[in-house]
Structure 1
Amino acid sequence: MEKLEEQIAHLTRMVDDLSEIVARQEGEITTLNRRVHMLMQREGEREASGGGAVVIGDERPPHY
């Protein structure tokens, strides 16, 4: 009986620890999603304004 009580206590502690980790990760994911959304919005605005062209491959820059 004592061994079962020890196992239950151990499992309860593990569940609590994992719950804290999941809650923290949820907050981090929310923050990262918000940042990605802001960056995508900024990039969309920059592309719409025509600035920030990126030279790809063998293309010559516009000043040639």
Structure 2
Amino acid sequence: MQHLEEKIAHLIRTVDDLNDVVAKQQGEIDVLTRRVHMLMEREAMREQDGGGGVVIGDERPPHY
């Protein structure tokens, strides 16, 4: 019986540790999702303004 109680205690600790890891990862995913969304909005605004500025071939960018 003591062996089962030890296994259960170990499993409970493992589940708690994994829960902490998952919660931390979810927070990081939320931050990254917001950043990607912000970058996509910036890029959409840049495309609307026509400021894409693609360099073709050996053409020098305007700041040279």
Superposition pairs for residues 37-52 of structure 1, below 5 Å?
37-52=37-52
The aligned counterpart of 2:24 is 24
Amino acid at match of 1:45: M
Structure-2 residue corresponding to 1:35: 35
What's 1:14 paired with? 14
Note closer, same or farther for the CA distance 1:45–1:2 as it changes in structure 2 (3 Å cut).
same
Give the 3 Å change call, closer, same or farther, for CA 16–62 of structure 1 in structure 2: closer
Unaligned 5+ segments in structure 1 are: none
Structure 2: which 5+ residue stretches go unaligned?
none
> Residues 62 and 20 of structure 1: is their aligned pair in 2 closer, same or farther, counting only changes over 3 Å?
closer
CA distance in 2, matches of 1:34, 1:62: 31
Percent of paired sites with the same residue: 62
Amino acid in the other structure paired with 1:35: R
**Mapped partners of 1:55, 1:10: distance in 2:** 60
